């Protein structure tokens, strides 16, 4: 592809050069026809004589020598301070005694100008991965949301009204803690995400024990099978449910290889961690709910929107279901 500001494309350059070299046009006449300067016409004609049609291609404008280029050892020091200390351009420039603009240019060139590209724990560049087909890996996890009292929670009605709503709900349900304070309870949302397609499966339960997690996995595997996806591996954190013998036995029965993340490394399961944030913003706290029942009733609709209609930035702006449309037997 030609440079965006180029007056001639490679094909137009070839036509210009052939008019001059093969048909005897003058530089001025050919330049007038193609609306360029005569010296430009001469340049392409001479390059055609020397190299033929191959000489019409674009060439790099990078200079042969860059005497003012930042030395490699200085680049390494800049990168090291960025990785290990999370310093910004101003701090790095002050430490090394060099212009801020130079430091920023080096960080941009090394793709480290944004701290979001660096792992917060290790300081190393983030290593992103994606399995190559649906079902190759499932991510599973549990996220928790406090139940909404009758009349709405404090996020929308304020703390004073929220406190009164919790008290009214406790009088109806009888749920209180050991201090006799209202206890709305917790919703445990068991989430399952396919690594390749990002297709999600959710269930809400009152706990996160092994029996519940295994039941969710069985139903999720059957749900994915209905979409033409066969599960091969499942990745979880080191929660007690996923470390249990019952979980391993269930995975063996289903023909799935269980895998776990390294302790204190949630980044390995980052796709589902990011999904939890989307879930909170798009469903759990997206609007005013007058009760927990109303919020739970809204979950299936939101999940359908996420899987079938919501553009996903990690898969080219398409919804997750589009990555399943070409599976064998999907349209049978």
Q: Are 216 and 203 in contact (CB under 8 A)?
A: yes
Which residues of the chain are under the pLDDT cut of 70?
1-6, 115-129, 171, 174, 177-183, 326-332
**Per-residue model confidence (pLDDT) at position 247:** 95
Tokens of 144: 């928790």
CA torsion sign for 76, 82, 84, 85 is: positive
Looking at residue 127, its pLDDT comes to: 58
Nearest-10 Cα torsion for 297, 228, 243, 252? 140
Q: What is the pLDDT of residue 175?
A: 73
> What is the per-residue pLDDT for 209?
93
pTM equals: 0.61
- The answer to whether 239 and 228 are in contact (CB under 8 A) is no
Residue 116's pLDDT is what? Answer: 61
Q: Tell which residue, 193, 188, 211, 200, has the closest CA to residue 142.
A: 188
Which residues are CB-contacts of 208 (< 8 A; sequence separation ≥ 6)?
Answer: 142, 188, 190, 239, 241
């Amino acid at each position: 592809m030609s440079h965006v500001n180029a007056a001639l494309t490679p094909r137009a350059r070839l036509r210009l050069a052939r008019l001059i070299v093969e048909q005897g046009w003058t530089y001025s006449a050919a330049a007038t026809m193609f609306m360029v300067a005569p010296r430009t016409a001469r340049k392409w004609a001479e390059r055609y004589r020397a190299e033929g049609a191959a000489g019409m291609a674009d060439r790099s404008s990078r200079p042969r020598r860059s005497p003012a280029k930042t030395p490699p050892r200085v680049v390494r020091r800049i990168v090291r301070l960025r990785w290990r200390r999370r310093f910004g351009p101003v701090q790095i420039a002050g430490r090394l005694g060099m212009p801020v603009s130079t430091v920023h240019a080096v960080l941009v060139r090394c793709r480290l100008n944004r701290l979001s590209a660096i792992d917060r724990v290790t300081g190393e560049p983030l290593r992103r991965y994606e399995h190559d087909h649906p079902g190759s890996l499932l991510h599973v996890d549990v996220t928790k949301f406090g139940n909404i009292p009758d009349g709405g929670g404090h996020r929308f009605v304020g703390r004073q009204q929220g406190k009164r709503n919790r008290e009214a709900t406790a009088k109806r349900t009888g749920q209180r803690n050991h201090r006799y304070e209202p206890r709305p309870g917790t919703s445990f949302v068991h989430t399952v995400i396919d690594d390749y397609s990002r297709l999600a499966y959710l269930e809400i339960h009152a706990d996160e024990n092994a029996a519940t997690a295994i039941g969710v996995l069985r139903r999720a595997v059957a749900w994915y099978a209905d979409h033409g996806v066969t599960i091969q591996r499942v990745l979880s954190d080191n929660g007690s449910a996923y470390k249990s013998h019952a979980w391993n036995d269930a995975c063996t029965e289903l023909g799935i290889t269980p895998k776990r993340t390294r302790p204190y490394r949630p980044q390995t399961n980052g796709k589902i961690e990011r999904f939890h944030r989307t879930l909170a913003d798009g469903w759990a706290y997206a609007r005013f709910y007058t009760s927990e029942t109303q919020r739970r009733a809204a979950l299936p609709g939101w999940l359908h929107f996420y899987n079938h209609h919501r553009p996903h930035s990690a898969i080219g702006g398409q919804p997750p279901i589009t990555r399943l449309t070409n599976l064998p037997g999907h349209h049978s």
